Amino acid sequence: MNKTLITGGSGFIGHHMVEYMLEKTDAELVIMDRLDFSGNLNRLTAIPSWEKNKNRVSFVWHDLKAEINPLIKNKLGKINTILHLAAGSHVDRSIDDPMSFVMDNVVGTCNLLNYARNNDSLEKFVYFSTDEVFGPAPEGINYKEWDRYNSGNPYSASKAGAEELCLGFNNTYKIPMMITHCMNVFGERQHPEKFIPSTIKKIRDGQEVIIHANQNLSRAGSRYYIHARNVCDAVNFLLNNGVNGEKYNIVGEREIDNLSLATMIANIMNKPLIHKMVDFHSSRPGHDLRYALDGSKLQAMGWQMEKNLEKSLETVITWSLENESWLMI
C-alpha cells in the first residue's frame, strides 16, 4: 500500500487533498503540519468521510523551518509519495514580513528535500507552486510551464526560489520530482480573508465589495479560478501519468475578471452587489492585475475537470451559507 506524506495537510488545499485521497485511493496518509495561521484540524474532522477513513491517517506535528531529525523521520515511517503543500501563501503578509516567507517556503522546502534525498522508498515528490512566479501577464499572454519568472512580491519570489531548489535536487540527487503551478483555488473551508469567501460574506451582509482594477478603473483584475477538488484530481492524474522532472500548469476553466465573478456570486445568492473599483497597485503594492497560465500541456495528456466554474461556485456558496462559522474572522 502506498504511504503518502501531505505537508500542510490541515491547510485549505491540503485538507482537500486529504479528502480526495481518502475517497479516491487506498493510500495511507501522513499529515505534517505545524498548525499556525493557516492550519486548522477542524477542517479534517469536517470532511464527510473522515470518521470512516480516519484510521488511514496519522498526524506528525513539525515546523519545516527545522530539519526533519531522526525522531521525526522515524514517526513518518517509509514514505512513498510526498505532496508538498505547506507554505506561507498570503501576499499582504509577505509584503509586511518577507523573511518569514523565505524561512517557510525556501528553507522549509530545502529541509523537506534533504529528507527526501535520503529516503530510499520515495517514488514521487510533487511540489505545489503558484501562477504568481511568472508575475503579471499582459493581455493575450498565457505563460507556459518553462517560461521565465518575474516575481512581483516576496511571496511569489519565495515560491520561485523553492522551485529552483526542487529542480536542483532533481538534477543533483535524482529525486523523482514534479512541479505544479496552480491558479486561484477556492472551495469549502477556505480562510475568509480570500476573495470568494470574503465576497460571499459581504454580499450576504449587504457590505461593499472592493474590486481591484487598473489605474483608470476601466478594467477589473482577472484570474482563472479553480475549485480545490479539481486541483486534487489533477494531482492524482499526474501521480499516475506525469513525468519526473517536468512542470505542469493546473488552470481553471476560463479567465474571469473579479467584477464578473462578484456579480456571478451575487446572482447565485439572489442579492444585489454593492461594489467599489479601486486602483489595484496604489491600494495593494506588490499585487498583479492579471495572472494567466496555459493549461494545454495537462489537457493534451487527457486530464479534464470534474466540475465547471458555475457548478463549483454554486456548491461553495450553498455550503458556505449553511456553514457560516467558516465565514467568520
Concatenated DSSP letters of 109-128 = HHHHHHHHHT-TT--EEEEE
Residue identified by cell 461556485 is: 313
- In 3-state terms the chain splits into helix, strand, coil percentages (rounded to 5) of 45, 20, 35
Nearest to 75 by CA among 123, 115, 22: 115
- Cα gap 100→93, rounded to integer Å: 9
Q: Are strands 3-7 and 184-186 parallel, antiparallel or unpaired?
A: unpaired
Domains of the chain: 3-185+224-250 (3.40.50.720), 191-223+255-290+308-327 (3.90.25.10)
Q: List the catalytic residue out of 19, 33, 104, 132.
A: 132
Instruction: Supply the pLDDT for residue 84.
Output: 98
C-alpha torsion 41→44→45→47, nearest 10 = 160
Cα separation, 104 vs 312, whole angstroms: 31
Strands 209-213 and 222-223: unpaired
pLDDT tens for the chain, 329 residues: list them: 899 999 999 999 999 999 999 999 999 999 999 988 777 899 999 999 999 999 999 999 999 999 999 999 999 999 999 999 999 887 888 999 999 999 999 999 999 999 999 999 999 999 999 999 999 999 999 999 999 999 999 999 999 999 999 999 999 999 999 999 999 999 999 999 899 999 999 999 999 999 999 888 889 989 999 999 999 999 999 999 999 999 999 999 999 999 999 999 999 999 999 999 998 766 556 567 899 999 999 999 999 998 889 999 999 999 999 999 999 86
The yes-or-no answer on residue 173 being catalytic is no
Query: Of 20, 127, 143, 155, which one is the catalytic site residue?
Result: 155
Q: Is the four-CA dihedral 107, 112, 115, 117 of positive or negative sign?
A: negative
Task: Give backbone dihedrals phi and psi of 36, rounded to 5 degrees, phi first.
Answer: -105, -140
Q: Which three cell numbers stand for residue 293?
A: 497560465
Catalytic residue check, 131: yes
Q: pLDDT value at position 48?
A: 92
Question: What is the spatial distance between Cα 137 and Cα 152, in angstroms, rounded to a whole number?
Answer: 11
Taking residue 264's Cβ as centre, other Cβ atoms within 10 Å add up to: 18
Task: Name the grid cell of 189.
Answer: 473551508
Residues 110 and 1: their CA atoms lie apart, in Å, by 27
**76, 37 in Cβ contact below 8 A?**
no
Backbone φ and ψ for 10, nearest 5 degrees, come out as: -100, 10
Respond yes or no: is residue 143 known to be catalytic.
no
> Is the pTM of the predicted complex or chain greater than 0.85?
yes
Which of 79, 91, 27, 31 is CA-nearest to residue 53? 27
Which of the residues 131, 163, 233, 288 is marked catalytic?
A: 131
Using CA atoms, how far apart are residues 291 and 133, in angstroms rounded to an integer? 10
